[in-house]
């Protein structure tokens, strides 16, 4: 169930999601990683059946699971260093974020849900991924940051090597 808030808070919260998409599309990697808290969790759940998701990242298979900003930075280095063949060249991407709802809000924490589509162009081929994400944003030093992003990929049989810039 959606929660109501004032317009400036709504802009600040949704601005984090919009900035995440823009930073990924523009390959502003330093800006993108700074959107996350040091203790963040970035989880892309896997499907166990047609309508059944894996629920425990410690026990079940996940498409992606990282439990710190340091792990995100390591993965970022891998696909920007030029040493990962699956990321040479990096695709051009266009992230479309929509249907954002505020699920919960306190003074220093907010929970949002969004739906998204990403178009990626590489080697003269366009691929698409789509899904939804649940975010926990935490206010740190007056700025909202991503403390948790749990994503569900609708088309989990990816047409290409899947990485963070596809989500």
Separation CA 91–CA 103 (nearest Å): 33
**pLDDT value, residue 133:** 98
How confident is the model over 110-144, as pLDDT tens digits?
999 999 999 999 899 998 999 999 999 999 999 99
Average pLDDT, the chain: 92
Domain 7-155 sits in CATH 3.10.450.50? yes
Name every residue whose Cβ is closer than 8 Å to that of residue 136 and which is 6 or more positions away in sequence: 109, 110, 111, 146, 147, 148, 149
Burial class (CB in 10 A: 0-12, 13-18, 19+), 116: buried
Alpha carbon distances (Å) from 135 to 78, 82, 109, 115: 24, 30, 10, 11
**pLDDT value, residue 86:** 77
Q: Contact 17/100 with Cβ under 8 angstroms?
A: yes
**pLDDT value, residue 94:** 97
**pLDDT value, residue 26:** 97
Separation CA 23–CA 129 (nearest Å): 18
Per-domain boundaries in the chain: 7-155
**pLDDT value, residue 159:** 67
Backbone angles phi, psi at 121, to 5 degrees: -120, 125
- Annotate 116-167 with DSSP letters as a single string: EEEEEEETTEEEEEEEEEEEEEEEETTEEEEEEEEEEESS-S-SS---GGG-
Give the H or E element holding residue 37: strand 36-45
Residue 80 C-alpha from the chain's centroid: 17
Q: Contact 139/107 with Cβ under 8 angstroms?
A: yes
Residue ranges in the chain modelled with pLDDT below 50? none
């Amino acid at each position: 169930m959606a929660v109501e808030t004032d317009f400036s808070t709504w802009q600040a919260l949704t601005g984090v999601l919009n900035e995440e998409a823009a930073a990924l599309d523009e390959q502003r990697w330093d800006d993108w990683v700074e959107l996350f808290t040091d203790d963040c969790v970035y989880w892309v759940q896997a499907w166990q059946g047609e309508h059944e998701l894996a629920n425990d990242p410690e026990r079940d298979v996940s498409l992606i699971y990282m439990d710190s900003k340091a792990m995100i930075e390591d993965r970022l280095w891998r696909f920007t260093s030029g040493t990962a063949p699956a990321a040479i060249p990096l695709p051009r991407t266009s992230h479309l974020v929509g249907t954002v709802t505020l699920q919960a809000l306190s003074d220093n924490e907010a929970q949002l849900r969004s739906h998204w589509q990403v178009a990626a162009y590489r080697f003269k081929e366009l691929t698409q991924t789509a899904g939804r994400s649940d975010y926990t944003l935490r206010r740190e030093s007056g700025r909202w940051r991503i403390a948790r992003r749990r994503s569900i990929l609708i088309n989990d049989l990816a047409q290409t090597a899947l990485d963070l810039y596809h989500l």
